[in-house]
Amino acid sequence: MKTYSRRSTSIIFTILLSLVGTVSAAESFKIFDGFVAFKSLKSMKIDKALSEITEINPSKLAPGDFNNICVAYAVNKEFSKAFEACSTAQVLAKATRGFPRLGLKDIMSNLSIVSGKVSSLAMVSSKD
């Protein structure tokens, strides 16, 4: 069983996301060490991170894995998939005994960023 500690679970991962051709302010995502695609995300190798994600058995994923999947999809501007992964991470984190509150807070922060992107895309789409 994977353990969660504040020291090893999150780092600040700052990136610029663009939306509809314009660059937004820097977004601060949190990725979790020891979980799927951490090293690839940390070094901004997004294609490699996405490849790692497709090779993993979804039934064996922990909240930290879903969190990192969320960030990978968000960086790749696949906001619907990112939202789904962040939502799953949040549900699993709340249901996982011993999951640290700070880790849940990081997941919720990522979910908030992604939710804003999904909402923005929906508003842009509805104007067309």
Q: In the chain, what are the domain boundaries?
A: 10-127
Count helices and strands in the chain by DSSP H and E runs: 6, 4
Angle, helix 46-54 to helix 63-75, in steps of 10 degrees: 140
Residue that wins the pLDDT comparison between 50 and 16: 50
The per-residue pLDDT for 118 is: 82
| DSSP β-bridge partners for residue 23 | 18
Residue with tokens 């302010």: 25
Sign of CA dihedral 50, 52, 54, 58: negative
Residue that wins the pLDDT comparison between 12 and 58: 58
CB atoms within 10 A of CB 59: 5
Amino acid 9 reads T
- pTM: predicted TM-score of the whole model, two decimal places: 0.76
Per-residue pLDDT band at 128 (split at 50, 70, 90): low
Residue with tokens 């939710």: 115
Separation of alpha carbons 67 and 83, rounded Å: 10
Separation of alpha carbons 70 and 31, rounded Å: 9
Per-residue pLDDT band at 9 (split at 50, 70, 90): very low
Separation of alpha carbons 24 and 18, rounded Å: 6
> Per-residue pLDDT tens for 71-123?
999 999 999 999 999 999 999 999 999 999 999 999 999 999 999 988 766 55
The per-residue pLDDT for 19 is: 34
Structure tokens at 30: 């949190």
Per-residue pLDDT band at 61 (split at 50, 70, 90): very high
